[in-house]
Structure 1
Amino acid sequence: MTVNNKSSLKVFLLILIGIMVFSCKNKTEDKAETSKDSEISESENAWKNADEIIENIKVPQFKDTVFNVRDFGAVADGETNNTEAFADAITACSESGGGKVLVPEGEYLTGPIHLKSNVNFHIEENTEILFTKDKKAYLPVVHTSYEGMEFMSYSPMIYAYKQKNIAVTGKGVFDGQADNENWWPWSGAERYGHTEGEPHQRDEHNLPRLSKMVEDGVAVEERIFGEGHQFRVPFFEPFECENVLIKDVKFVNAPFWVMHPTKSNNVTVDGVTVESHGPNNDGCNPEYSQNVHIKNCLFDTGDDCIAIKSGRDNDGRRVGISSENIVVEDCVMKDGHGGVVMGSEISGGVRNVYVRNCEMNSPNLDRAIRIKTNTRRGGTIENIYVKNLKVGQVKEAVLKINTHYAIYDNQEGEHMPVIRNIFLENVDVENGGEYGILIRGREESPVTGIHLTNVTIKKTETPLSIENADPIVFKNTSINGKQITNE
């Protein structure tokens, strides 16, 4: 080979190497851009899905016909029992094709209110409905649920069973009149008025007996608990209903869970205020329910503000309905065990939950976002999206995921939970309490797919405490002033 040929070869090789380096650089940049675009696309698609869910939810509409409860004998003196007058107005309204049952200004005492199809039960501003303290008024037993287990028991205060197009609206107040002398002592807690030796829900003839029936597969209609048993009632429970609206009303002094849509589809909770600090006073618990929109609400509760559920243990697996397509937006959470929670009655699974534009702030709010289950509950929890969340103060953690949850004894079983695809985006936290992120997964089933994007936790004692979880994907996330990376 001549010198000229060698020089030409050298130049050729240098050009070839340059082309290869440039190509590799472009491919790396393209891959990075593709990954970035993929993340943007994931977020955009998620919130498009949320918008589509809202758009497809059927909000009930009603005829203009008005049925004034006073025309059916209702008396607004706070002492006369109006159960029959309310029931007569609701029946007349439903049988005539629907409309509005109007409760004008005043104070009304009543027993349980049973809604029927095509009825909007509307309470005017400056109206207060007091629910009687007489437990016998909530009999005969109805098909209801307690902590994710179905049975026959006292009627919820406002109840609908297999009805379509129903609503509870207006700017009045529903007062359950529960306190340390009424309903709450049945919790068994001394601070809620229980006296040692008095019967309560955890006595052998109550929860243990019901749990055994569930374990043994006893038919629901044979699980009869009423007089002589100590189960507190939900405040508002639409059971197997379709097209449900709860708007503008206020709930106070609840015996148990406040709003409990069960096996229901197309549920809208709009502008509702919950101020109730009793035992298990969760604000809103969609269970086995789908296509739920919770917006513009204020929750100040004795337990979880919002807790999404799907049955407990064998009952959840028997029913086999997941809670899904749930959008929570523009809500304020004050006191409570958690802001938005999934579990612990979660055996049927939860998926496609969207939380955006909410504020959470209280020294008595334990966690912002929480998932709780164990190997008795099991369940698959997936596709949880949180965006534009402002947190002033929480006590324990901003995000807590616990697959070892145990408030009762013997919570270990053979049903391994699966938790995956949890996305937090644009989250601003002033004080995260004890932990920024607290995750307790299982070695046999680690928590996977956790993404934090544009998350700022200004103050927390322990930034990260993680067991049995895949590495979290951090993007522009800082805790205690320090940028968190995946390195």
Structure 2
Amino acid sequence: MLVIFITAFCEAKVNQWDKMKEVYENIPLPTFPDKTYLITDYYNGTDSLFTSAINKAILVCSAQGGGVVVIPDGVYKTAPIRMKSNVNLHLSDKTLLMFTTDYNLFDTVLTRIEGIDCYNISPLIYAYGETNMAITGNGVMDGMASEANWFSKERIDGVTLKNGKKVAEKTVLYDMKEDSVPFEKRVFKGKTGMRPQFINLYKCKNVLLEGFTLNRSPFWLIHPLLSENITVRKVKMQSHGHNNDGCDPESCKNILIEDCDFDTGDDCIAIKSGRDEDGRYWNIPSENIIVRNCRMKDGHAGVAMGSEITGGCYNVWVENCLMDSPNLSRIIRIKSNAIRGGEVKNVYVRNITVGQCDESILGMEMKYWHVDDGPYPPYFHNIYLENIKSNKSRYLLHLDGFANKIQARDIFIKNCDFKGITASEINAVTGVSNIHFENVKVNGKDYKGM
């Protein structure tokens, strides 16, 4: 019976890679008319920032049926940019786009911060309800975030006034969620605004992000939210500040992340679907996420699911990636707790080369952020790792659940070679059942499992 059980799961896995091809073939790329709009044609020659010129060119382009808005070679300073349908914002090869850190120049828009719905100061590039868009070209966009501005101790630890006292920048939002304050009354503007995302695509469809480099983001770098058919290709994400996740699809469907470079201060990729009651209100999972041919250096994880995963996460494929850094904590990471909840299922990982990582090849946290109990225990299952070669890590598996309950199961590890496992125990596993090993070597020896 055990042989039949394992064979059935292996057959299911093979079919799922065929499903990945179907998903990939059904993620359309945007198309644009052969019309060009130079932002310099809309510049009045006196403004210190190019914000008005860029946004006007985008508006005119969209209103006239679409085309390519070109930012030519040069250095341009700007406040936040608002994207529109049928526009390809193109950065020339020697373009440097530098964003102001003056929060007084940021409009207030609808977004989410760490899975919680709110109005906040605008992301550096923002779109709401738009379709058929792109940001392309080999230029550089610099969010200018540093310890002197977005990451200052005042902003991180005490920018928002509450009862006459300063508290951490997101504490008031957390309290509003706990107190069930309606979304429309969660408003943060000006100095009380929380650090914004670099690129936020809210309820958008058919979008291409390709070629450019992102540096020094105030918060998450690329954040598709409640969006569909998003392609992120050949983007370099280099940003080591607080909460600097690379790409965070949240409650999204049909996402392709390929041939990208990540060197980040938090998870390289973190798939999300809302947090706590806000996540349960929307109840929209992230599903059909493809990650392939990427390179990950520093980060808390190469590919993570969570921790704001209340709406669930289904069908994630990761293949042909290189992950290598002593400052990369985990290769695959799944995290939640019994307040956030969420189901994560059908995660397929193959052909991964790991130079080294700090903690583990697969990490799971069912008690994330030290939450020991709650009414919504998460559930992780159907996780497949195949053809992974690693030279160094502390653990193979670090799966942290509860000793008296099972919250994760059905993990399959096949045709893998894990070298340089340094912990005295190969695995640290609690609260997980049905872990299967087939043709696995650990530190040069055949490994049959725990």
2:92 and 2:191 mapped to 1: Cα distance? 36
- Determine the C-alpha separation between the residues in 1 that align with 2:245 and 2:35: 34
* Distance apart, 1:295 and its partner CA: 0.0
* Closer, same or farther: CA 40–467 of 1 in aligned 2, 3 Å: closer
The equivalent residue for 1:272 is: 235
Q: Sequence identity, in percent?
A: 41
Aligned residue number for residue 176 of structure 1: 143
Q: Which of 45, 62, 76 is residue 94 of structure 1 equivalent to?
A: 62
Q: For 1:421 and 1:62, locate their aligned partners in 2 and report how far apart those are by CA, in whole Å.
A: 40
Match of 2:105 among 133, 137, 144: 137
Does 2:190 align with 1:227?
A: yes
CA contact (8 A) 1:187 1:200 kept: no
1:451 — aligned with what?
412
Query: SS at 1:314's partner residue?
Result: helix
Equivalent residue of 1:431, what SS? coil
Change (3 A) 1:446 1:134: closer
Q: Note closer, same or farther for the CA distance 1:429–1:200 as it changes in structure 2 (3 Å cut).
A: farther
RMSD over aligned Cα atoms: 2.2
Would the aligned equivalents of 1:446 and 1:468 in 2 still touch at CA under 8 Å? yes
Structure 2 contact 439–447 (Cα < 8 Å) conserved: yes
* Stretch of structure 1 that moved more, 374-383 or 180-189: 180-189
User: 2:274 is aligned with what amino acid?
Assistant: G
TM-score (structure 1 length as normaliser): 0.87
Structure 2 Cα separation of the partners of residues 128 and 178 of structure 1: 15
Match of residue 249 from structure 1? 212
Is the aligned partner of 1:418 residue 2:379? yes
Name which of 374, 390, 399 aligns with 1:429: 390
Cα offset for 1:36? 7.0
Cα pair distance change 1:400/1:188, threshold 3 Å = farther
Which residue of 69, 81, 103 maps to 2:49?
81
State the SS of the aligned residue for 2:391.
strand
| 1:164 has 2:131 as partner | yes
The answer (yes or no) to whether the contact 1:234–1:257 under 8 Å persists in 2 is yes
Equivalences for 1:149-228 in 2 at 5 Å? 149-185=116-152, 203-204=166-167, 206-228=169-191
CA distance in 2 between counterparts of 1:214 and 1:383 reads 30
- Which is strand-richer, 1 or 2? 2
TM-superposed deviation, 1:376: 0.9
Deviation string for 1:69-112 (max 9, x for gaps)?
1111176x9x8201111111000000011111011100001000
SS of equivalent residue, structure 2 residue 194: coil
Secondary structure of the equivalent of 1:284? Answer: coil
Q: Is the contact between residue 373 and residue 405 of structure 1 (CA under 8 Å) also seen in structure 2?
A: yes
- 2:34 is the counterpart of 1:64: yes
Cα gap change, 1:135 to 1:188, in 2 (>3 Å):
closer
1:395-447 CA-to-partner distances (Å, cap 9, x unmatched) read: 0111101101107xx67421111110000000000002x21111122333331
Separation in structure 1 between the aligned mates of residue 79 and residue 155 of structure 2, nearest angstrom: 24
Q: 1:373 aligns with which of 298, 311, 336?
A: 336
Shift of 1:227: 2.1
Q: Which runs of 5+ in 2 are unaligned?
A: none
Query: Which residue identity lines up with residue 302 of structure 2 in the other structure?
Result: G
Question: Shift of residue 204 of structure 1?
Answer: 4.0
Contact map agreement 2:104 2:191 (CA 8 A) in 1: no
1:368–1:397 contact (8 Å) kept in structure 2: yes
Equivalent positions of 1:286-435 (< 5 A) are 286-406=249-369, 412-432=373-393, 434-435=394-395
Match of 1:8 in 2: none
2-side partners of 1:257 and 1:161: how far apart?
A: 17
Instruction: Report the Cα distance in structure 1 between the residues aligned to 2:138 and 2:64, rounded to whole angstroms.
Output: 26
8 Å CA contact 1:186–1:200 kept in 2: the answer is no
Quick one: structure 1 residues 255 and 436, their matched pair in 2 at CA, closer, same or farther if it must change by over 3 Å?
same
Deviation of residue 319 (structure 1)?
1.1
TM-score (norm 2): 0.94
- Give secondary structure in 2 for the equivalent of 1:395: coil
Distance 1:413 1:187 in 2: 33
The answer on 1:477 being equivalent to 2:412 is no
Conservation of the 8 A alpha-carbon contact between 1:463 and 1:480: no
Give the number of the structure whose residues are more often helix, by fraction.
Answer: 1
After TM superposition, list the pairs within 5 Å mapping 1:109-128 onto structure 2.
109-128=77-96
Q: 2:305–2:335: 8 Å Cα contact kept in structure 1?
A: yes
Question: Of the candidates 4, 18, 28, which is equivalent to residue 48 of structure 1?
Answer: 18
Give distance in 1, aligned partners of 2:266 and 2:152.
16
**1:292 to 1:373, Cα distance in 2 relative to 1, 3 A:** same
Q: Which has the larger radius of gyration?
A: 1
Structure 2 residue aligned with 1:146: 113
The CA deviation string for residues 141-160 of structure 1, in whole angstroms up to 9 with x for no partner, is: 10011111110110000000
**Unaligned runs of at least 5 residues, structure 1:** 1-27
**Cα distance in 2 for residues equivalent to 1:74 and 1:405:** 52
Residues in 2 aligned to 1:273 and 1:482: alpha-carbon distance in whole angstroms: 38
1:15 corresponding residue in structure 2: none
- Note the alpha carbon deviations across 1:348-376, whole angstroms, 9 max, x for none: 11110000000100011111110111111
